[in-house]
Amino acid sequence: MSSDGVISGDGWAQYEEYARRLDAVRAEESARTAGMREAVAQMTTHADELEARLRGQGGMLTDLAAKLRLRRPKLTPIPPEGVVDPPIALSQLAGAIDRGDAASLQAATRGEYPALLPGMTGMVRGLLVYGIAALVVLGFQGLAFSRGGTETNPIMVLFVIPLIGFVVAFLVLSIGGRTRVLQGVPANPPTRLGFVLCFLIGPLAGLVIVGMSLQSR
């Protein structure tokens, strides 16, 4: 500024430069503040969406527990420990909700199948269990004959042992064939198949042995 109060050319140019810098700083700060407000608004919207999903998932888990006849889960929130980074925390929460949905769907699907050999049909499951029981019955019958010889009690060998094997297999199928989710009338184990396998395997094995001995003579 000159002595008469008039701004010189250099002073005016310097003033304009400072004014432009000030405007640039204000514009940058305004843009940064607007970006922060937009980011906060987006995180708030995301948090509200996750909260709604979390509440819906809590109700779904409660209904699923009742459907599967399980104890009602505890849905009390756990306070975070230490410093929380909002974006990272929201991302972790979204992942946890997704995993919870997948696990709930898997549990609901699994609850529709029996606990014992869920990948098999009722007939195949019954054939396998009764077949194993029949082999065990045959083993005990052979053991009884080998120990008793001609003094073996036929009622014990031909009736009691097969009956025990049949009852055990029937209970295994009845209990293991139940599902967590009740779907109408549960399928009954194939009792006729089990009766035939457990009670006739001994006599059939005896006939085979007698036939082979007669042919060898």
Domain positions in the chain are 9-110, 122-216
d(CA 155, CA 59): 59
Average model confidence (pLDDT) across the chain: 78
Contact criterion met (CB below 8 Å) for 17 and 27:
no
Q: What is the pTM of this model?
A: 0.58
Which range, of 58-62, 82-86, 90-94, 193-197, averages the lowest pLDDT? Answer: 82-86
| Predicted local distance difference test score (pLDDT) of residue 135 | 93
In angstroms, rounded to a whole number, what is the distance separating the alpha carbons of residues 39 and 66? 40
CA gap 117, 179 in Å, rounded: 12
Angle between helices 86-110 and 9-67 (to 10 degrees): 20
pLDDT at 184: 46
Please tell me the distance from the alpha carbon of residue 18 to that of residue 5, in angstroms, as a whole number. Answer: 20
pLDDT interval class at 1 (50, 70, 90): very low
Q: With 60 as the cut, is the pLDDT of residue 82 above it? A: yes
What are the pLDDT digits (tens) for 15-50? Answer: 667 667 776 777 677 767 766 777 777 778 878 888
- Please tell me the predicted confidence (pLDDT) of residue 129: 93
Number of helices and strands (H, E) in the chain? 6, 0
Give the model confidence (pLDDT) of 146-205 as tens digits. 876 667 788 888 899 999 999 999 999 888 888 777 654 455 678 888 888 999 888 887
Q: What pLDDT digit, counting tens, does each position of 99-157 carry?
A: 888 888 888 777 778 878 887 888 888 899 999 999 999 999 888 878 766 677 888 88
